[in-house]
Amino acid sequence: MTTYTPAISDEAYGHRLDHVASDKRMRPDNIELPQGAWSGLSRVCMFAGGAGLILTIIGGLAIGPKHAIASYHAAVMAALAPCIGALMLIMIFQLLNTHWSITVRRQFEHLARLAPWIMLLLIPTAVIELFTGGTLFAWIGSEGHLAEMKEPFLNVPFWLLRGVIYWLIIFVLSQRLTGASLEQDRTGDRWLTAKMRRTSAWGIPALALTLAFLSFDWLMAVDYHFFSTMWGVYYFAACAFSALAIVMLITAGLRASGRLTGIVTPEHDHDHAKLLFSFIVFWAYIFYSQYFLIWYSNIPEETAFMNIRKSGGWEIAFYALIAGHFILPFLLILPRTVKRSTPLIGALAAGLLLVHIFDLFWIVRPEVYAHDAWKASLAPGLSPEQSTEAYNAVMAEGPGVFGWWVDIAAVVGVMGVFFAMLLRRVASGPLIPIKDPRLPKALNHRNYV
Amino acid sequence: MSPIHPDQKNTERLAGLRPQAAAGTATDIGDGSLIEDPASEPPLVLGGRSIQDVTEIVCGYQEKGPGKWWLPAIMTSASVAGIGQLMILYLIITGVGTWGLNNQVGWAWDITNFVFWIGIGHAGTLISAILCLLKQKWRTAVNRSAEAMTIFAVMCAGIFPGIHVGRIWFIWMIFPIPNSNWIWPNFRSPLLWDVFAVSTYATVSFLFWYMGMIPDFATLRDRADKRLRQGISGLMRLEAPELPFMPRLGFNLPVRSDTLRAYIYGFLALGWRASSRHWHRYENAYLILAGISTPLVLSVHSIVSFDFATSIVPGWHTTIFPPYFVAGAIFGGFAMVLLLLIPARELFANMKDLLTLRHLENMAKILLATGTMVGFAYSMEFFIAWYSGNQYEFEVFAFNRVIPDWMSDRGAPYWWAYWTMIGCNVISPQVFWFRAMRTNPMVIWSVALLVTIGMWFERFVIIVTSLHRAFLPGEWQMFFPTWVDILTFVGTLGLFLTLFLLFMRFLPMFPIAEIKAVMPEGDPHDPRGGAKHDDEGSH
């Protein structure tokens, strides 16, 4: 345990804390939600979530387990992304010693603290996969050359063991960082900030590896033929992007209920939106680099994955994703007025959250019908027209548009549970880290441009 | 030349002054640059310097000169650069056969050096643009010199694609200009995108660097002008170096050095009058250029990585290349910044007050972070090479890079290059987990040197080990550099150092106004910046 020399005496620091606490913006009705607030909303979310999950199960029985499990899994990975992204972002904030982020950091912490619990939603997927011998994760039941080659990594016991390891790392990091922050609320001990910084230093490489392999295991392996070194970075881009969008949504909601006046100001929105903007571009950069290199090199084992996600109806989805995840938000968030307007940025954040869910669906869902249809279209000796017919014939066996209610049910189900837990957490205590040593700077944050 | 060196005058005035301790400050925190107390921030300028002192120190480097070491240093580096130019001349006269290239390894040191130098430049753009957008105040101490390195490194890099084509008189064909042969460049080739990416990058970086210097040029101009008016400017004097047992030789030139300064710096200052309108436009332009540079810094090295990754050569085709190259470039660039600025800190008077141990510590942390990032990319590459089930991809890693030839019959003759890369890039920065290591300039400098070596080897490993063994063993060939290869690269090191030494001698090495803005005097919330009371906590 490193000990540091204090630069100012405890007494002087105590005075500073008192000074901050006496600030008129720090009155309780500005930085706390009343007892039981948002619990109605949380209950509605939980109810919707439960109903959605039941409908998903019904869908699984009625349409097919693979469809239901794919929708559920995509939704869980979409809900897990902001939690892991928030954990990564609070560690980055701590290491960079950023000031502006202090007044929004608590919301990131709420998300991060949820990470291990949302991760438990992967258990149903794992259980079903094990009992059905590989529905969505085709490698579980597969034999053949490639499956055998990958067996040292892709085998059930190791897969589960890795899951447990990821859970432990995420659990320890999230509880340690958010726990220290909550403890600082009570004790005002400024050295907890140094502790959080130290944890973040080793936490970032640990979480980076966890995130990469988690994304390999639970996303890339839906098609075990496919591989991409970029995959971990791609999921990270989605994580950071969605975390920023959700926090933006929550702070907009809090200000709509009359909280955080003068604490999360347009200046903070401005910086927050700029960071979101940078992650919109970062996602596009990673998505483009990955797609472009696969397209340009045109090696069958890589292009198959992208081809499936760019054939039939998924082709529209592919372009919609590029437009919705990059082009539109890029243009919409560029004007300064938008970045500094709470309602506009809140609405934009809600839209981006939907796009983020769509991104995960684009990765997972084509495995259900499009994969087989695409394979059928490649049968030797087919003309282009026959190939399209073969594709459509396989797709026609699925429920088509009439099966989408299962996807919607799964998203509502998982997101309902996720938001129910998140809203309860947001209302559970102070909305900002009230005794963070950098709070005075954050309260007076200005962009000067 | 002014009779009294302004910097010297200041040193005398400040001799014996201790750093001013703020109210309520504990005394045992040294000069304060290494404060870790979350409740306070370390000062970015030490020694109790006033804002006038900052001007005096920075302008002093140009007005008085850096010291006796400078002339021998630039003579050496310029000689080395000259050798490099002779090698290029020899290459052009004789042909690329003077390099060690062969049928199998068609790219070796030339493209290795190109990617190495392009990467060096990235730290400058990261510091000036990205850290500016992230409001990292400490950047002000290093941004000017890092930006200068960007320009010089891109110049060194630009040499290699130019000379590696063999028939250099056709190099103009890389530009998309219609010519009499109706030959157009191949727009589908990443090599052409490189031309666009690098030239755009060089242009924007130069504009950014130059624009930042305009107010400082004006300061230098005004100071020279003031001395001329006061009549304290001496005539310019040429002197032979001091030799034992020899009378001092020297004579005066019929021109005052301040006259030259007033004209040259005045020309460069583009009529800057420091009016608030000028400052307003300057700040806007600075922000816009920072915004343009940020995607550029990513795009340049991404496109450089496309040179390899768009191919289907095992070891080259991998999707993580773009961000991995960018991280590696920033890593290598910061190493070069540290490699040059740590000695400069010792050689220039009072530079330690502006470039504190805290700055070095921050940069050491960036080395640790980016070094670990490239380590992450190495491990992803290796893992996916196995996971892909692609036998060729995996064997490039296992048998062309990792397993030494003395361990396996099929092992890699270039194993030492791979393990140099791992040792220097991934393992050596790990010492920065310890605070004692990252606050010790000698250790930082040594690691920076290792990282520079390691980053050169990274490009060598990527390029040569992937090429030297093709699919048929009959095509296997080793690459051995010739003396021309080696001296050309050494020559670019000399060119880079020469340019940097000229920069340190004649251009403002620190952004004077930006440093003043991060001092307490520039903070409206600080009593020293004009606040009525210590109002950090309220408003």
DSSP B253: E
CA gap B70, B513 in Å, rounded: 26
Asked if A4's CB is within 8 angstroms of B37's CB, the reply is yes
B535 → chain A, closest CA residue: A440
> In the predicted model, what is the mean pLDDT of residues B424-436?
96
Q: Quick check: B384 pLDDT over 90?
A: yes
Distance (Å) of CA A258 to CA A33, A39, A183, A343, B318: 9, 17, 26, 13, 50
Interchain contact, A4 vs B36, CB within 8 Å: yes
CA torsion sign, A346 to A352 to A356 to A358? positive
Q: Please report the pLDDT score of residue B36 as a whole number.
A: 81
Residue with tokens 């510590």: B361
The one-letter amino acid code at A31 reads I
Task: Note whether B539 contacts A443, CB cutoff 8 Å.
Answer: yes
* Token representation of residue B120: 């060096």
Q: Does residue B19 register a pLDDT over 80?
A: no
Question: What is the C-alpha to C-alpha distance for residues A54 and A63, in angstroms, rounded to an integer?
Answer: 14
Residue A7 to residue B29, Cβ atoms within 8 A: yes
DSSP A12: H
Determine the pLDDT at residue B123.
81
Task: Give residue-wise pLDDT tens across range A205-254.
Answer: 999 999 999 999 999 999 999 999 999 999 999 999 999 999 999 999 99
Q: How confident is the model at residue B22 (pLDDT cuts 50, 70, 90)?
A: very low
Task: Give A79-118 pLDDT, tens digit per residue.
Answer: 999 999 999 999 999 998 888 899 999 999 999 999 999 9
Among the partner-chain residues B287, B298, B312, the one whose CB lies closest to the CB of A299 is B312
Residue spans of alpha helices (H) in A219-341: 231-256, 266-297, 300-308, 314-322, 328-333, 336-339
Task: Judge contact between A31 and A263, C-beta under 8 A.
Answer: yes
Min Cα distance A420 → chain B (Å) is: 34
Structure-block tokens of residue B89: 């001349």
What residues form DSSP beta bridges with A430? A32
CB contacts, 8 Å: B317 with chain A:
293, 297, 299
Contacts of A5 in chain B (CB under 8 A): 26, 28-29, 35-37
Chain A touched by B48 (CB under 8 Å):
no
Instruction: Check CB contact of B434 with chain A, cutoff 8 Å.
Output: no
> Each residue of A105-120: b (16+ CB within 10 Å) or e?
bbbbbbbbbbbbebbe
- For B239, phi and psi rounded to 5 degrees? -130, 140
> Between residues B201 and A448, which one has the greater pLDDT?
B201
Residues of chain A found within 8 Å of residue B134, distances taken between Cβ atoms: 96
The nearest alpha carbon in chain B to A18 belongs to B537
Dist. CA A343–CA A336, nearest whole Å = 14
Residue-wise over A203-236: b if at least 16 C-beta within 10 A, else e? bbeebbbbbbbbbbbbbbbbbbbbbbbbbbbbbb
Helix, strand or coil, per DSSP, at residue B127: helix
State the Rg of chain A over Cα.
23
B318 vs A contacts (CB less than 8 Å): 229, 293
Which one of A96, A194, A274 has the shortest CB-CB distance to B36? A194
> Best interface-test mutation with B: which of A229, A439, A443, A449 has the largest number of B CBs within 10 A?
A229
pLDDT tens digits, B225-254: 999 999 888 888 887 767 777 777 788 888
Mutation target vs A (from B310, B320, B432; most A CBs, 10 A cutoff): B320
Which residues share a beta bridge with B251? B238
Q: Which of B136, B298, B537 sits opposite A16 (nearest CB)?
A: B537
Instruction: Tell me which chain A residue has its CA closest to the CA of residue B291.
Output: A278
Residues in A touching B538 (Cβ below 8 Å): 19, 23
Residues of chain A with pLDDT under 70: 1-3, 448-449
Partner residue facing B537 (CB), from A19, A190, A286:
A19
Q: What is the mean pLDDT of chain B?
A: 88
Where residue B48 falls among pLDDT bands split at 50, 70, 90?
confident
Q: Which of residues 251-280 of B touch A (CB under 8 A)?
A: none
In 3-state terms, what secondary structure has residue A427? coil
Contact criterion met (CB < 8 Å) for A444 and B536: yes
Q: How far apart are CA A187 and CA B482, in angstroms?
A: 67
Which residue out of B294, B319, B386 would a mutagenesis test of the A interface target, given it has the greatest number of A Cβ atoms within 10 Å? Answer: B319
Smallest CA–CA separation between A23 and chain B, in Å? 6
Complex ipTM > 0.85:
yes
Contact A7 B298 (CB under 8 A): no
* Cα B312 to Cα A129: distance, rounded to the nearest angstrom: 35
Q: B 120-139 residues with CB below 8 A of A?
A: 133-134, 136
Query: Does B94 contact chain A (CB < 8 Å)?
Result: no
Using the beta-carbon criterion (under 8 Å), do A201 and B433 form an inter-chain contact?
yes
Predicted confidence at residue B129, as pLDDT, reads 84
Identify all chain B residues contacting A155, using CB atoms and an 8 Å cutoff. Answer: none
A98–chain B nearest CA distance, Å: 9
The pLDDT of B342-351, averaged and rounded, is: 92
pLDDT attached to residue B25: 43
What are B366's two structure tokens? 């960036």
CB contact under 8 A, A229 and B35: no
Cα dihedral value B401, B402, B407, B410, nearest 10: -40
Interface size A-B, in CB pairs within 8 Å, comes to 137
At B412, is the secondary structure helix, strand, or coil? strand
The answer, for B37 touching chain A at a CB cutoff of 8 Å, is yes
- Tell me the chain B residues in contact with residue A227 when contact means C-beta distances shorter than 8 Å: 384, 387-389
Task: Name the β-bridge partners of B412.
Answer: B404
Strand partners, B250: B239
Whether pLDDT at B472 is above 50: yes
* A293:B377 CB<8 A: no
Residue A32's SS3 state is strand
- Residues above pLDDT 90, as percent of chain B: 64
What is each CA distance from A147 to B98, B137, B261, in whole angstroms?
Answer: 49, 52, 73
Interface test with B, best of A3, A4, A150, A227 (most B CBs within 10 A): A227
Taking CB atoms and an 8 Å cutoff, what residues of chain B touch A232? 380
CB–CB of A7 and B384 under 8 A?
no
CB contact under 8 A, A20 and B29: no
Which chain A residues have a beta carbon less than 8 Å from that of B379?
A: 209
Residue B193 forms contact with A (CB below 8 Å) = no
Residue of A nearest to B309 (CA): A293
Select from B38, B136, B384 the Cβ nearest to the Cβ of A229. Answer: B384
- Contact status, residue B430 vs residue B447, Cβ threshold 8 Å: no
pLDDT at residue B310, as a whole number: 94
Q: What is the model's pLDDT at position B536?
A: 46
A201 contacts in chain B (CB < 8 Å) = 433
Q: Is B70 on the interface with A (CB under 8 A)?
A: no
Distant-in-sequence, close-in-space partners of B207: CB < 8 Å, separation ≥ 6:
B289
Interval B362-390 mean pLDDT: 95
Q: Which residues in chain A are closer than 8 Å to B38, comparing Cβ atoms?
A: 190-191, 193-194, 197, 437-438
C-alpha separations of A176 from A88, A179, B369 in Å: 13, 5, 22
Given an 8 Å threshold on Cβ–Cβ distance, is A301 in contact with B525?
no
Q: Residue ranges of the alpha helices (H) in A97-155?
A: 102-119, 122-132, 145-149
The pLDDT of residue A2: 56
- Lowest-confidence range among A76-80, B1-5, B124-128, B395-399? B1-5
**Among candidates B538, B537, B526, which has minimal Cα distance to B44?**
B526
Contacts of B381 in chain A (CB under 8 A): 229
Using the beta-carbon criterion (under 8 Å), do A285 and B525 form an inter-chain contact?
no
